[in-house]
Structure formats: structure tokens, C-alpha cells
Structure 1
């Protein structure tokens, strides 16, 4: 399993939805108001467009048994957004372990001591968390993202970030090179296939490929548990420039990951990555490694 520790901001409340129909019913209001009305709107809106938090959630692709910890500011609007997001994750997305954790002193009168307490809290949460731990420095005040980056670097916990306008999940670099990341390389069997035969994408479609494909191709060829890479239109179900676990397997039962690379409406590519893994643990480890490596590459 994985534990996602995510800061929560107020984009759920404050986004203006200039190009979105229908707009969120509370546009222009000081509060979101009726939770049921909010959930009804969120249910029929793409996760990418609801808020910064749901956009990140979409790209981290958690299972229902993964833990999601939402860190909210000590402000009324921060608490309201976190409460409604918790309801949405539980009731509409089926997450079974969602918890709210307040950040004392994190408000519009932010002080240094409050950030120090946040750093200590992050360390405690990371040390007590189960499974693979990820910091999602998505919402909230900018200073919160800075603290997450520092603590993540100290502990070797990966820190990811995305904004509504971005099209890919970004993993922040570790600031201390001597710190080893807590997530090891995926422990899957090595593929016995010749590495020059891993990529099987038609050469006559090169004019449709994003510029990022050359780097991604090298990345996939260098991962020993990647057995085969092919074009697959089903992989467009993955978020743009992200990884998603496929709902399909190979004929002999191995897990498949989907990658959707997107540069423009005319320049995109969807590929299936056949792994050497058979177990749920294999799938989780492979998806985690590939997601992070892709996030650091793009």
C-alpha cells in the first residue's frame, strides 16, 4: 500500500472556472456551502478540473486501500475545502482511509514557528505511515510546499507537485545527495528480452510523437523489469504525461502500465508497458518507480 500525505489549499473554493461548464455553483461566494450540492458538481466534473488536490490524486492513481492524509490550514476556508474533499474521496472515489490533520498556526498570519511545527508533524506522519510514503505538496500556502520539500529531502520521501495549469506530475529533487530515497527500485524479475527489442513502436508514426518520447524511450529501455513497449489506444485513459495501472494483463498474467504522453492535440502518444510482475505488490512497486522516474524526467 501507499500513504499519500497531501497539503490542501482553497482551489476547490476559489477557482473561477472561466472555461468550464457547468461552473462550480459557489463561484464568487466566500464559502462552498451545501456539501451535497458540492459533491453533485464534483461527481460530474473531471478530476483534473475540480481542484489542485484532485488533479494530483488522479496522477498518483491510488487504490481504495491506500491511505490519504489531508493536511489543512487553520483557516475556515481551508477546513471547509478539506472536509468536502474528504467526503468526495470517500463517497465518490471509494477511498477507505482518508483522514484530516490540521496544521496549527498555518493561516494568513503565518509565522516561522508554525512552519517548524509543520516540519515536525511531517516527520512524525512519515515515520508512522504504512507502506510507500509520498508527500504531495499541491495545495496550501507556498511556504508549505517549501517545508515539504525540505523534510522530504531529509527523510528521502518523494515530494510531488502539480498545479491545475500543468500537464504532468513533477517530483522535486532531493536537496541532500547523501540521503537515499525511501523507495527502492522495483523488486521485479528482470526481463530476458534483448533490450534492443523492448520498444516496438511503428517508425512511420514518428511525426505524431511528442518531443519527450526520445527521453522516455531511453528510460523504458533501461528499466530491467520492462519487457515490452507497444502503442495502445487504451493507454489514453491515463492522465496526460502520467502513468496509470492498466485494467488489463498480458496473456500469461503479467501486469501492464499505461503511459500517455501529450504535447498537443496532434502530438501525443499512448503506450502499454508490459512488466515482468504478476502480484499486486509487483504492480504497486513498478507503478511507483515508473511514475517517479517519469516525473523527474519530464
Structure 2
């Protein structure tokens, strides 16, 4: 059983999920109709209003507490929570695994990592946000020359410290290039990599691929 889960982090939790929450009861009814039919009974105006206010006030703990009132598989909770919930439910990691969030060096990346930290700490997980320096979309050259390399180094360091036997990677959230690096490093280091598209009914594991790592070069 895996005890450490390394997750890439994107921004879909805020954009578009939480940024599109309704501002009043009239718009709430319209918003509710756009949610999956099976999830509509999970919502009420008071809960959605409290989450929206917490977002406006940047009260990340209150926001996380609001999301925790919904099942982790609810689409509103975002790609990271959806995929981690599915992954743990299927027994790919222990129930109270350590969660390490590799997020971009952007305000949105840091904010979402904070939300995830509070969300999972309240459920008994040990959490650790990891800001990846240079991983920012306003400087493409820095993203390429520093950001992606720092992500690869961070994943390698975590796997080395925890050992591949006890690690897994959730490469669902984040930039496409960020996901690609996470998949590549997992394959090269012998660590299982999981991914969940929003239309998938369940999370999937990438099959083993003929990828190796030149450790002398590394």
C-alpha cells in the first residue's frame, strides 16, 4: 500500500468552479440546473453562499470546511479532490496517506494548495504544499528552463526520501506540461501514476512504458 501521494495542482477549483458560484437565490436556481442531475440534491443555497463568501474573503479554511460538506467526488470540488477521493476509495493509497501538493509559483496555485491543505488536514491527513519555483505561465521561458526542471527535481527528491515502494503520483491537476513531467518521472522512477479526466467514471493508472533514467546524467 502506498503511504505518500504526490499530486500536481491546477487552478480549475477556482476557475471556473468557484468563480462561477451564484450571487443570489435567483441566479442560484439557474446555477443549480447546470449541475449534474445526480449532484443537485447535495446543494443548498446557504452552503453555496457560504463558500462564495469565503472565496471573496480569501478565507481558505472556511472555504475548505464548506467543500468538506460535499462528497469528494462532487464536480464542484475540483479535479484534485475528485481524483484523490477516487484514488483513496479504490485502495490505491492508504486511507490517511501523506499528501504532497506540487503547485505553481502563482497566487492561484498557492491559494488552491492552501485550500487543499486545510481540506485534507481536517480529515486526518498529513499535508505538505510544495511551491515549484519558475512554474508560472506569465514567463514561458522561465517555465521551460526552470519551472519544469524544478518540478522534476522536487518529485525525484520526494520519491528518494520516501522510497518508490511507498509513493504514488496523481497527475490530474495542473498545466498539461506539468502533468507530462509528472507522468515521465513516475514511469522513470518506477512509481505508479494515476490520472482522472472529468468525464472518466473512475481514475486510471498509466500502464508501464519503456522509459528509463540516466542517473549519471541526472
Q: TM-score, normalised by structure 2?
A: 0.71
> What is the CA deviation profile of residues 189-217 of structure 1, one whole-angstrom value per residue up to 9, with x for unaligned ones?
xxxxxxxxxxxxxxxxxxxxxxxxxxxxx
The unaligned stretches of length 5 or more in structure 2 are 22-33, 214-218
Partner of 2:121, secondary structure, is helix
> What is the CA deviation profile of residues 227-251 of structure 1, one whole-angstrom value per residue up to 9, with x for unaligned ones?
xxxxxxxxxxxxxxxxxxxxxxxxx
RMSD, matched Cα: 2.6
Paired residues of 1:13 and 1:26 also in contact (CA < 8 A) = no
Matched, 1:122 2:133: no
Show the counterpart of 1:174.
208
> What is the CA deviation profile of residues 22-67 of structure 1, one whole-angstrom value per residue up to 9, with x for unaligned ones?
447566x986722243123212212112111111111222445421
Partner of 1:166, secondary structure, is coil
Question: How far did 1:103 drift?
Answer: 0.7
Aligned length in residues = 177
CA distance 1:66–1:138, change in 2 (3 Å): same
Question: How far did 1:117 drift?
Answer: 2.2
Match of 1:73 among 104, 113, 132: 104
Paired residues of 1:13 and 1:32 also in contact (CA < 8 A) = no
Partner of 1:48, secondary structure, is coil
Aligned counterparts of 2:61 and 2:211: Cα–Cα separation in 1: 47
Match of 2:136 among 104, 107, 118: 107
Q: TM-score, normalised by structure 1?
A: 0.53
Paired residues of 1:32 and 1:80 also in contact (CA < 8 A) = no
Partner of 1:100, secondary structure, is strand
CA distance 1:63–1:155, change in 2 (3 Å): closer
After superposition, residues 11-50 of structure 1 pair within 5 angstroms as 11-14=12-15, 15=17, 16=20, 18-19=34-35, 21-22=43-44, 23=48, 33-49=58-74, 50=77
Higher relative contact order (CA 8 A, sep 6+): 2
Structure with more of its chain in strand, by fraction: 1
The higher radius of gyration belongs to 1
Partner of 1:47, secondary structure, is coil
Question: How far did 1:165 drift?
Answer: 2.8
> What is the CA deviation profile of residues 100-120 of structure 1, one whole-angstrom value per residue up to 9, with x for unaligned ones?
111111111343212122112
Aligned counterparts of 1:138 and 1:24: Cα–Cα separation in 2: 28
Show the counterpart of 1:147.
181
Aligned counterparts of 2:67 and 2:152: Cα–Cα separation in 1: 32
Q: Runs of 4+ in structure 1 displaced over 3 angstroms?
A: 20-27, 29-32, 62-65
Structure with more of its chain in helix, by fraction: 2
Show the counterpart of 1:210.
none
Partner of 1:51, secondary structure, is helix
